[in-house]
Amino acid sequence: MKRILVVDDEIGALTLIGIMLERGGFEVLKAKDANQALAVLEMETPDLIILDVMMPGMDGIELCRVLRGREDTADVPILILSARGDAKSVMDGMDAGATDYLPKPILHHDLVAKVRRLLSAEPLED
């Protein structure tokens, strides 16, 4: 079962995204901020990471840059979910190393389909 780390400071969003992904057949790891996400990553490396942009402390864009600089997460697909859907926000996310960007609110089938596409695009391991 593929594991997905979801990072969002809004508990309602974290819960809802988790339920959507679990119903889609994924195991979900949750973190409410960048520090908690980094702590989770010290213990395990997920197959995909979903980041919210607007979080206290380190935001999702900066966290994305940090993750791209780490050896263990450099190649893990990163999906940014954000209420900010304007072109500049999307470009900032992609420039930070995000694999893809989806505006909130997100529909269940859109999220699961996007996650499945991102996971199937992973290089095959020997």
Q: Mean pLDDT across the stretch 16-26? A: 96
Task: DSSP letter for 70, please.
Answer: S
Q: What is the pTM of this model?
A: 0.93
- Which ranges in the chain belong to alpha helices (H)? 11-23, 34-43, 60-69, 87-95, 108-120
- Burial (0-12, 13-18, 19+ Cβ within 10 Å), 62: middle
pLDDT of residue 21: 97
Predicted confidence band at 126 (pLDDT cuts at 50, 70, 90)? very low
Per-chain mean pLDDT for the chain: 92
| Structural domains of the chain in order of their starting residue, each with its CATH number | 3-120 (3.40.50.2300)
Of residues 42 and 125, more confidently modeled: 42
